[in-house]
Amino acid sequence: MVMVLLLSAVVMLLWNAILPSLLQVNKISYGQSVGLLILCRILFGGFRFGPPSHRRFGPSNNLREKWMNMSDEEKAQFRSEWQKRCRPKQPPPPEEKQDE
């Protein structure tokens, strides 16, 4: 709770120092900065202080473990499949006009 209150003060100071002159918005009070942080928490999640318990998003070690256990042939097949998926699609070659 103390971190949220301290973070609210930082948000208020940064907002009031930067945004009024940059975007012509009004300065905010401390209570408004607390509300802004709560709104951000509701919309985006976050404010997890301390060690992460588990990640729902982001890189995972599962893919690394699978990669390490793949044979060379499986790795080559994996690479070629992702190259097919990630390369930009080439437009078809222009068709030649046939004069009749």
DSSP string, 44-82: H-----SS-S--SSS--HHHHHHHHTS-HHHHHHHHHHH
More reliable by pLDDT, 28 or 82: 28
Query: What pLDDT is stored for residue 98 in this prediction?
Result: 67
The model's pTM = 0.46
Tell me the pLDDT tens digit for each residue of 34-71.
999 888 888 887 666 555 555 555 556 787 888 889 89
